[in-house]
Structure 1
Amino acid sequence: MHACLSPAELSAALAIPDLSDPASGHALAQLSAVVSGALAAHWEVPLEVHRPGPLVSTRDNYDRLGFSSGDVTCDARYSRHVSPTVMLRSHTSAGMPAVLDSLRPELGRHDTLHVLPGLVYRPDAVDRTHVGTPHQLELWRLRSRGLLGVPDLTDMLGSVVDAVLPGTRWRAVPSVHPYTTAGVQLDVQVDGGWLELAEAGLVAATVLRAAGLDSRRWCGLALGMGLDRALMLRKGIDDIRLLRSSDPRVAAQMADLLPYRPVSAMPPVRRDLSLLCADDVDAEVLGDAARTALGPDADVLAGLDVLAVTPVSVLPAAALSRLGVAREAGPAGPGSGQANVLVRLTLQSLERTLTAREANRLRNRVYLALHEGPVQELIAG
């Protein structure tokens, strides 16, 4: 049974502005247009932009794209369900089954770049490069009456890199994706290291057939790219929160694709938490819960690092006493299936310096949301 979002949680998620929408005037929308326009011009094919709503069927988000129920990405912890059969999309490719369905009546030649930009919704780690509602850009070239193969895919990768980061070295690393064959991860070289920019492959015949398209007649290329990271690389931004900053000095720079000019940074404040949580908890789940707990103040959460996870069964007596659990309670008793999780919060406003009192209050809100033990350790605020 899926845990569903409450009406308040759904309303909050749907209220987040989609900065890939051209009406926003944001650099994310500009980059989306630059990349898709460059590809269409390079291939000399028409371009169609699709902007379906963020609520999709679970079947379109997972099943029709080749995900199996056992895949980690399908776990209820990593999906934001509205009902057992409807969810907030976890990737923009969830809109592609409907696009494929619309092509069934096509009898003539079709060779078009289908573009799906927008927000996606999923738990994620809290750090300077991740956020729970990132923007993605899906680029699918779909063709009837003609083959598309690995050379075309390689050509696509090079064109995307040239559009995002002109002149940058890149490589394609083999990678398995449920809805493609010959899948690759597209990496770009930045400051001497390799960073993932996108994932791509040939559209799998099973995905085409699931939409009622004859895979002997239809073929395609599929590429998905995180727009936030691409823009950060393009402009030289090191903190993803800057993309939504209300600081006029920053916001003014989010209206173009020119290099970012840093403004003075506010000092970070760190708070360590000792939590009692399920022993299979991870940084993504904790990060999502922390963002939810902070609500409109979530933009001050610059990082959440899991420092250690220690099962209750091996904790020393002093730690058990502090947490208020008993090791000998048995497999169904208090503490079973739980662990002591040490977490470090990094709190940093982009506009002003946080006071110790403010930091303590924020710390307590996160602590109360994450801690599952009977004894609470709050800091006076």
Structure 2
Amino acid sequence: MSVLTAEELNANLALRDLADPAQGPHAIQLVVDQIRTALGQAWPYTEIWTRRDHPVVTLADNYDNLGYAAGSVTREERYTRYASPTQVLRSHTSAMIPPALRELATSEASDVLMVCAGICYRRDSVDWQHTGTPHQLDLWRISRNVTLGEPELEAMIAKLVETVLPGQTYRTVPAVHPYTIHGRQIDVLLGDQWIEIGECGVAAPAVLRKAGLDESWSGLAMGPGLDRLLMLRKGIRDIRLLRSTDPRVAEQMLDLTPYKPVSAMPAVRRDLSVVVGPDVDISDEVLGDRVRQALGADAEAAESVEVRGETSYDDLPAAARERLQLEPGQRNVLVRLVLRPLDRTLTDAEANRLRDQVYSALHEGPVLELIGR
């Protein structure tokens, strides 16, 4: 098992949690406040428990106690950041739910809305709406006075969209989660594209029972993405702007009024031709994570990364195989890297240096084609 070094762990923990008021104001917190207020008004007799736990959680609360199978692929170190063999940087705010359920099982409360917001850590693609450190919100209503099922779930979905994205067209599609039954994905229409804003379902009875809540309890579970909700609310088309230190941008991240674009820096495009082995995963999420690791402190300069083409050894012309010194089973992958820091314009030398860092991290062939030297 690969465990984060102390330096890597501290670097992750040093990243500001935009959902935490103690770390300074941010519009993400206003989204949480609006949702909490709206649901509190819709359910006036429901207690509201707001929870903010440390991002290092037990492996059990991140996975086992939420119903994830022991062999679930998401547990693998390529998807999960292990702080120790038994602890991880939470991959979702749902990791706060098992301890909250255990607390409920020993309390006198009988109808509770759990509000758990915070930063999470995961692999994800590099594009305008994804980041490896997203902010999420878990909303679980658990009751032994009211039977909570699909009709109540539908009302909760409608209240969420109506509150944060009034007037927006939305849909739900079936989705499977280990911690829900009758699971759904919530999408909102942006132009001609459906954008996922979260997932939800009826709380899985097995998860409630494992926490000590008997058959008299039922619940609803919802997990919207806070970054996505804020971006749709304000009309932001680059997730990196949420963390911008440019005063012209940062000042706009303190309210929910429509975003007014500031002058954008020019983008720099670099196309990379890399050699990878037959079993190398080049999915968007894995590729995005490897690029962020390669760029290190400059990771925010990457606006997008995408695979533009892939050719096997057998399909590559002989001259190209010879030039790349490709071996049977290897593949030639064309990757497009778009660099655009939010606060400055890259020089050609800087862009080439960053390109070479990514190239060196992805390329597995003996012939190096570096351009920054």
TM-score tier (shorter)? over 0.9
State the distance in 1 between where 2:32 and 2:126 align: 24
User: How far apart are 1:316 and its partner, in Å?
Assistant: 3.5
Q: Which residue of 2 aligns with 1:10?
A: 9
**Any runs of at least 4 consecutive aligned residues in structure 1 with deviations exceeding 6 A, and if so which?**
none
Quick one: percent identity of the two aligned structures?
Answer: 53
State the distance in 1 between where 2:11 and 2:314 align: 39
State the distance in 2 between where 1:303 and 1:63 align: 34
User: How far apart are 1:262 and its partner, in Å?
Assistant: 0.7
User: How far apart are 1:70 and its partner, in Å?
Assistant: 4.1
Retained in 1: the 8 A contact 2:127–2:305?
yes
Which residue identity does 1:42 align to in structure 2? A
Q: CA offsets per residue over residues 47-69 of structure 1, 9 Å max, x none? A: 11111111112222112212224
State the distance in 2 between where 1:74 and 1:310 align: 31
Residue 105 of structure 2 aligns to a residue whose secondary structure is: coil
Which residue identity does 1:78 align to in structure 2? Y
- Aligned pairs for 1:42-57 within 5 A: 42-44=42-44, 45-57=46-58
Q: Which runs of 5+ in 1 are unaligned?
A: 328-335
Q: Which residue of 1 aligns with 2:188?
A: 188
State the distance in 1 between where 2:61 and 2:47 align: 25
Which residue identity does 1:81 align to in structure 2? Y
* Count of paired positions: 369
Q: Which residue of 2 aligns with 1:330?
A: none
Retained in 1: the 8 A contact 2:273–2:334?
yes
Which residue identity does 2:48 align to in structure 1? L
Give the structure-2-normalised TM-score.
0.94
Name the CA shift for 1:183/1:326 in 2 (closer, same or farther; >3 Å): closer
Retained in 2: the 8 A contact 1:293–1:365?
yes
Q: CA offsets per residue over residues 171-193 of structure 1, 9 Å max, x none? A: 22222111101111112222244
State the distance in 2 between where 1:80 and 1:311 align: 32
Q: Which residue of 1 aligns with 2:349?
A: 357
User: How far apart are 1:256 and its partner, in Å?
Assistant: 0.5
Residue 103 of structure 1 aligns to a residue whose secondary structure is: helix
Name the CA shift for 1:109/1:52 in 2 (closer, same or farther; >3 Å): closer
Q: Which residue of 2 aligns with 1:79?
A: 80
State the distance in 1 between where 2:306 and 2:255 align: 32
Which residue identity does 1:245 align to in structure 2? S
Retained in 1: the 8 A contact 2:80–2:91?
yes
State the distance in 1 between where 2:315 and 2:63 align: 38
Which residue identity does 1:367 align to in structure 2? Y
Name the CA shift for 1:315/1:3 in 2 (closer, same or farther; >3 Å): farther
State the distance in 2 between where 1:309 and 1:317 align: 16
Residue 127 of structure 2 aligns to a residue whose secondary structure is: coil
Residue 249 of structure 1 aligns to a residue whose secondary structure is: helix
Which residue identity does 1:253 align to in structure 2? Q
Q: Which residue of 2 aligns with 1:226?
A: 225
Which residue identity does 1:181 align to in structure 2? I
Q: CA offsets per residue over residues 72-112 of structure 1, 9 Å max, x none? A: 43333111112222111111101111111112223x45111
Retained in 1: the 8 A contact 2:275–2:326?
no
Higher mean C-alpha deviation, range 53-62 or range 216-225? 53-62
State the distance in 2 between where 1:50 and 1:192 align: 37
Matched, 1:373 2:365: yes
Q: Which residue of 2 aligns with 1:60?
A: 61
Give the structure-1-normalised TM-score.
0.92
